[in-house]
Each structure stands twice: as structure tokens, then as C-alpha cells.
């Protein structure tokens, strides 16, 4: 009887130990997880009301400790609708589009508050938005224009550095295109809707999306982001100059600047276009497909003559560099030492690049300075390659003579051995 009683006690003690461990584990796993009635309900709803815990956990606001009630008000700790969505709890529910910029700005325009989360984050976004076309039209009652959530998303907002963010540099153009490539949506504004398609063919898109250069221009680089406003005719060259500094300096010295300003033409855009900017080539100075000069000039005028001179010099230098490159490559493949000349070719290529930039001054004498400097280097490198080839041929002749002599010696030895054997 006592043995049976002991067995029961041991069994109860074991069960109690397992139960205590389970409760302790549950307490540990649930520690710090506050009740959120908002997510518990909305995670079971279909879009657009549905917001899952996984989705919201990716939001930068959730990661910083903010909750649903931070924007929508209410009491997320209660499952009683009269309390969780009651007026006493400050419940706002769905935010009207016209109120969104001010709601976001209530935090993002407060330097003292934002410093707690990210000291480097700007706090002038709302002020800039009010100066933008979007902000002005919203203030005038147009609720179709973009507000914060149209670009940044709503419940899964990620920082711009996150590749999944809608405002990551790689994704900005796609985000803008959701409105600006929609012909029906943009029809009331009379704005073209082919910008996104053109941008996808541009050298800027190639640098950003194909080569992965995050510093390459996208929509916000030229048009701004929160202070989005199309650059005026007189500002296009200033926008381009933020990256293309040397080209802008040359353009300021050219006759084109005065002529374009007098005719109210948009500077760089006249020759290069805006959204569909193609990779610049020497052919733009030509007279065939892709040429731009003769769209305005007439054959034989002063500018046409200058164009012919500059194109000829660029073609001459480009050909000299390619000829030297080929000769040096053949010499190097033959085992000759031409590393110094190959390195000097970089300087010749730099001269060509600089000459191609200097054409923005439209002064042949300035282009000639860089071309002549590059030609001197390329010709020296060509001579080095040719001398290496001469030395290669000399070595080959010497090797051939040596092999013939060795062959004759071996033949003589063989004949001598045969004679001894006989």
C-alpha cells in the first residue's frame, strides 16, 4: 500500500514539474508581447483592411516601438469595440487623404522627437511638400495627387536603404510610374505618361538598374522628392550640373548658352533629351542618324565647320588609341614586356574623355589641346608596341637559327655514330 502511494506521489511530482516548466516557457515566450486587438482583428480581414502581424513587423515604425494607435488612436489593449474604437480613446479610424501629410508631419517635423529615433533624419519634409506641385494641388482640394502613403506605403513602410522599400533608388521610378504612367489617371492634368518607358531606355536607368550604381539619377534626383516640382526651363542645366559639373562649366563658356537663353530653350535637354537620355557618342557631332547639330544648323555655316573639325579630331584620337591598343595586345600576348605602355594608354583615354567633354564649349581650339595631348601619348605607345614586335621577330629569327644549328648538330652526331657502328 505504501509502495503504491509513493508511486502516485512521484507521478504527481513529475506532472507538476512538467506543467511548471511549460508555464514558465510560455511566460518567457510571451514576455514583452502586449495585447494588440487591432492586429488580432485586422489580420483576419481581406485587403485593403487586412494587416498581418508579419506585414506590420516589417514596418520601420513598428520596429521603433510605435503601434497602430500611434496614428489611428484608440485602445489596442481592449477587445471591447466601445473602448478600443471609442471616442474617449481618441480613435480616428481611417485617415482622410487630406490629413495624411499633417499626420505624418506631426512626428516627422518635430526635431526633438525624431532625434530619439534617427538623429540624421531630416525634419523639413512637410514644409517641402507644401511647396511642391503635389502639396499645392492637395491644398486646393485635389485628393488625387500623391501624399506620403502613395510613395512610402502604409503599414509596411521600410527605410530607403532597404532594397524592398518603395523609395529605394532602384524602385523610385516604378513608384512614380504608378500614377505618372497611367494615362487615365493623368488625363485631367494633360501630362505625358511616357516618361517611365523612356527612362527605362536611358543611360541613367542602365547605370542604376543594370550596373547597380545607386548614385545614378532617378526621378527624385532631378525632380526632388518631398518638394517635387518639375525643373523650369531656366533650371534644367542647373539640375544636370549637380552631377555633370565639368560639362556645365564648358557649356557656360559656349555660344549655345547665350543662344538657348535668348530663345528660352531648355539647355542640356535640347541636345540630350530628358527622360530618354541615350549614351553620348561622337556620332552626335555627325550628320547621320543620332546627330544633333544639324537639327538647328545649316550645312557650311561656322558652327557646321567647327563641328566637322571637332568630330575629325575625336575620330583621329579614338583611332590612334585603338591602333596602339591592338599592337600592344599582340605584343603582350607574344610574351613581350609592354606594361608601361599599356598603363600610359589610360592617360591617352583620359585625354579623349576630356576632349569629348570639352566639346560642350563648342570651341575647336580647346578640343584640339586635349586631342593633341592624347595623340602624343598614343603614338608613343604605338611605337613602343611596334618596337616590341620588332624585338619579338628578332628573337624568333634567333630562335629559329638556334634550332636549325641544334638540328644540324644532332644530325651530324647521328651520322657519326652510324659511321662508327659500321
Q: pLDDT of 249-279, one tens digit each?
A: 999 989 888 888 888 888 888 899 889 999 9
Q: Which cell numbers hold the place of 60?
A: 520601420
| Residue 335, in any domain of the structure | yes
Question: CA 33, CA 26: separation in Å to the nearest integer?
Answer: 12
| Residue 249, in any domain of the structure | no
Q: Which cell numbers hold the place of 158?
A: 521600410
Model confidence over 137-171: pLDDT tens digits?
999 999 999 999 999 999 999 999 999 999 999 99
DSSP string, 90-109: T---SPPGGGHHHHHHHHHT
Q: Based on the structure, what is the number of domains in the chain? A: 1
| Residue 34, in any domain of the structure | no
Question: CA 390, CA 378: separation in Å to the nearest integer?
Answer: 18
Short-list 103, 93, 111, CA closest to 147: 103
| Residue 414, in any domain of the structure | no
Model confidence over 42-73: pLDDT tens digits?
998 888 888 988 889 999 999 999 999 999 99
| Residue 284, in any domain of the structure | no
How far CA 216 is from CA of 146, 149, 227, in Å, comes to 24, 25, 20
Torsion of CA 125, 131, 132, 135, to 10 degrees: 80
Could you tell me the residue range of the domain that residue 338 belongs to?
303-386
First vs last Cα of the chain: how many Å apart?
Answer: 120
Given this model, what pLDDT does residue 91 score?
92
Predicted structure pTM score: 0.78
| Residue 268, in any domain of the structure | no
Q: Which cell numbers hold the place of 189?
A: 492634368
Short-list 311, 234, 229, 315, CA closest to 268: 234
Given this model, what pLDDT does residue 242 score?
87
319 band by pLDDT with thresholds 50, 70 and 90:
very high
Residues 6+ apart with CB under 8 A from 43: 50, 51, 52, 53
Question: CA 347, CA 326: separation in Å to the nearest integer?
Answer: 16
Given this model, what pLDDT does residue 22 score?
41
The rounded mean pLDDT for the chain is: 88
Given this model, what pLDDT does residue 183 score?
95
Query: Higher model confidence: residue 355 or residue 35?
Result: 355
Amino acid at each position: 500500500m505504501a509502495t503504491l502511494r509513493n508511486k502516485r506521489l512521484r507521478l504527481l511530482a513529475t506532472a507538476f514539474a512538467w506543467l511548471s516548466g511549460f508555464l514558465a516557457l510560455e511566460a518567457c515566450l510571451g514576455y514583452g508581447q502586449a495585447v494588440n486587438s487591432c492586429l488580432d482583428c485586422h489580420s483576419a480581414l481581406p485587403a485593403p483592411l487586412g494587416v498581418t502581424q508579419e506585414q506590420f513587423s516589417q514596418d520601420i515604425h513598428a520596429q521603433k516601438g510605435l503601434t497602430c494607435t500611434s496614428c489611428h488612436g484608440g485602445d489596442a489593449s481592449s477587445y471591447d469595440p466601445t473602448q478600443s474604437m471609442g471616442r474617449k480613446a481618441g480613435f480616428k479610424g481611417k485617415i482622410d487623404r487630406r490629413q495624411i501629410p499633417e499626420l505624418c508631419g506631426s512626428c516627422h517635423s518635430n526635431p526633438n522627437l525624431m532625434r530619439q529615433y534617427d538623429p540624421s533624419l531630416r525634419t523639413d519634409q512637410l514644409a517641402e511638400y507644401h511647396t511642391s506641385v503635389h502639396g499645392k494641388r492637395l491644398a486646393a482640394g485635389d485628393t488625387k495627387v500623391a501624399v506620403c502613403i502613395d510613395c512610402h506605403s502604409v503599414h509596411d513602410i521600410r527605410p530607403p536603404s532597404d532594397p524592398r522599400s518603395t523609395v529605394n533608388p532602384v524602385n523610385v521610378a516604378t513608384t512614380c510610374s504608378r500614377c505618372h504612367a497611367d494615362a487615365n489617371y493623368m488625363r485631367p492634368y494633360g501630362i505625358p505618361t511616357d516618361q517611365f518607358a523612356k527612362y527605362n531606355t536611358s543611360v541613367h536607368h542602365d547605370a542604376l538598374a543594370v550596373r547597380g550604381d545607386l548614385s545614378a539619377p532617378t526621378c527624385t534626383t532631378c525632380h526632388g522628392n518631398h518638394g517635387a516640382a518639375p525643373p523650369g526651363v531656366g533650371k534644367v542645366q542647373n539640375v544636370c550640373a549637380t552631377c555633370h559639373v565639368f560639362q556645365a562649366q564648358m557649356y557656360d563658356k559656349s555660344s549655345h548658352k547665350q543662344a538657348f537663353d535668348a530663345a528660352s530653350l531648355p539647355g542640356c535637354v535640347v541636345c540630350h533629351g530628358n527622360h530618354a537620355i541615350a549614351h553620348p557618342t561622337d556620332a552626335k557631332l555627325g550628320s547621320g542618324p543620332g546627330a544633333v547639330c544639324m537639327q538647328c544648323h545649316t550645312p557650311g555655316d561656322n558652327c557646321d565647320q567647327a563641328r566637322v573639325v571637332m568630330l575629325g579630331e575625336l575620330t583621329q584620337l579614338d583611332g590612334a588609341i585603338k591602333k596602339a591598343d591592338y599592337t600592344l595586345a599582340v605584343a603582350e600576348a607574344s610574351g613581350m614586356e609592354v606594361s608601361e605602355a599599356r598603363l600610359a594608354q589610360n592617360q591617352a583615354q583620359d585625354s579623349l574623355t576630356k576632349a569629348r567633354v570639352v566639346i560642350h564649349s563648342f570651341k575647336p581650339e580647346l578640343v584640339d589641346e586635349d586631342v593633341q595631348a592624347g595623340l602624343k601619348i598614343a603614338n608613343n605607345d604605338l611605337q613602343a608596341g611596334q618596337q616590341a614586335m620588332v624585338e619579338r621577330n628578332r628573337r624568333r629569327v634567333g630562335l629559329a637559327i638556334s634550332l636549325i644549328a641544334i638540328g644540324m648538330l644532332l644530325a651530324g652526331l647521328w651520322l657519326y655514330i652510324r659511321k662508327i657502328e659500321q
